[in-house]
Chain A
Amino acid sequence: MNAPKHSPWIWVGQAAIGASALGLWEWGARAGTLDKFFFSRPSDVAARVWQWVTSGSIWPHLGVTLLEALLAFTIGVFLGVLLGFLLARTPTAAVLLEPYIRMFNALPRVVLAPIFLLWFGLGIWSKVTLGVTVVFFIVFFNTYRGVKEVDPVIVNNARMLGASESQLIRHVLVPSALTWIFSSLHISIGFAMISVVVGEYLGSSKGVGYVISQAEGVFDTTGVFAGMTVLAAVVLMVGAAVERLERWLLRWKPESPIRAGERDL
């Protein structure tokens, strides 16, 4: 983190950009340049979010979405890290499975959603499964690469100093792969949310995706935007928590390349 990011002027500038975009939108909707039916208005959206929060009607939906995303994320990360490690340490298995992993990864996951709906029903598990298929591949590829790219000199040094295979994994391979795994966790959190919301959108009776789809069904643009706002806020909060954890775990790094990359985004 370098100085300019913390400077109050940057903060003021960022706020100004957001405020002017919202202001322009609000002004356009009020002046009639933007059709209120199709574009709604920031003030209406804010009022709707406020109403959802104060009446408490959004919480059960948000709860379901978060639960699904959390399950998808946890299961996906667990499987991805596990398989990434296994395949990176057993090259034969990696060679055998490679074409299939590539094939499944090439498949657009949205097309699986209807299948999962048929298999697992309208409840949370069809969404969780969809999320897992997305999260798994991101984490898997990063873990695999992270373990593969460990500096051989570091590994040899540890072996000369008496490390057993399990100590090698714990003290050398896992920490070394952490940078990669963490860069994938960042992305996975967002993708887990997106995929469960897509799942809800396609067929469910609860969740933020369901709320959005219901609003869309009655041409309630304000409801759609309000749903998006809630989602974005939640993803940002969860992302910030992951970043804190990551900063602590990667405190041995002079400047994390992940954060450097993120700033470029």
Chain B
Amino acid sequence: MTPSAVSLEAVTARFAGPGGTEYTAVEGVTLDVAEGAFVSLVGPSGCGKSTLLNMAAGLLAPSVGTVRIFGDPLRGINRRATCMFQQEALLPWKTVLDNVTLSLTFRKPRERKQSEELGRLWLKRVGLEEFADRFPYQLSGGMRKRVAMAQNWIAGPDILLMDEPFSALDIHTRLRMEGEILNLWAGSNKTVLFVTHDLEEAIALSDEVLVLSAGPAGRLVGRYPVDLPRPRNLIDIRAEPRFADLYRSIWTDLREEVLKSYERADYERRHAS
């Protein structure tokens, strides 16, 4: 059996809280993502979704447990993955082209010419070839996300980590971006771990949806294979009966966790004063 692309083995993340207290973001989470799969991680806000993603990225070491990437224990940054963040992560002082080729600048600083060619190819692929010499501030939010997408894919990672990458976009731009991600991913054999709080987005895109419990000390409460056929039409998929069935069955679990997170937020608000 081939090892999973990403596997978290009983990982726990604790942080130092205010006044010497300890905050447990996630506790004893075990999950694995098969190579080439598109897996989404959903859960109410504050459940530790991003914490799990940061552990897979190697940006955060688990307090307890092991992270394995293709079977090997992860130490330091995950060199086989890139991460698309929710916030803007482009370098504002570099042009669009220089941003897209950033990973090549880091890894092959001598091969500027080839990097530039490849960069222009990717810009064409995301429909931004005329914007190569602009700076990020001169682009719209959706265009900047496209640049970030090209920046991630050009690095040729085996694993793509995405932390609510489209949550700041309007619904139409978001649909288009989701479609573009699926097109790029289809047949690439790349593994995607996609964090979102939007269950519809998770079902529409993924092979499998993982539900996390409300934080603190978030746990994995359910795994749901999504057997919708591919390629998927993201505009119409939400109207399909099978989509509605899946949505209902996952939502019963997620709903409970969302309600718990509300209760906890109310409790904390009352006790904060």
Contact = CB atoms under 8 A, between A and B. Distances in A.
B89 interface: yes
B151 interface: yes
Contacts of A167: 105-106
Interface string A132-169: 00000000000000000001011011111111100100
Interface in A171-222: 171-172, 175-176, 178
Interface residues of B, number: 28
A176 B103 CA distance: 18
Contact of A153 (B87, B94, B137): B87
Contacts of A159: 59, 77
A162 B88 contact: no
B103 A162 contact: yes
B82 interface: yes
A160 B81 contact: yes
Contacts, number: 66
Interface range on chain A: under 10, 10 to 19, 20 to 34, or 35 or more? 20 to 34
A175 B91 contact: yes
B42 to A, nearest CB: 22
B85 interface: yes
A158 B85 CA distance: 12
Nearest to B86: A153
A171 B155 CA distance: 17
A161 B85 contact: no
A206 B218 CA distance: 73
A253 interface: yes
Nearest to A251: B135
B91 A160 contact: no
Contact of A156 (B59, B88, B105): B59
B106 A161 contact: yes
A154 B91 contact: yes
Interface string B70-100: 0000000111011101011111111000000
A154 B90 CA distance: 7
- Point out which of B79, B93, B103, B136 has the most chain A C-beta atoms below 10 A from its C-beta: B93
Contact of A172 (B81, B91, B103, B151): B91
A252 interface: yes
Interface in B132-157: 135-137, 151-152, 155
Interface of A: 151, 153-154, 156-164, 167, 171-172, 175-176, 178, 250-254
Interface of B: 57, 59, 77-79, 81-83, 85, 87-94, 102-103, 105-107, 135-137, 151-152, 155
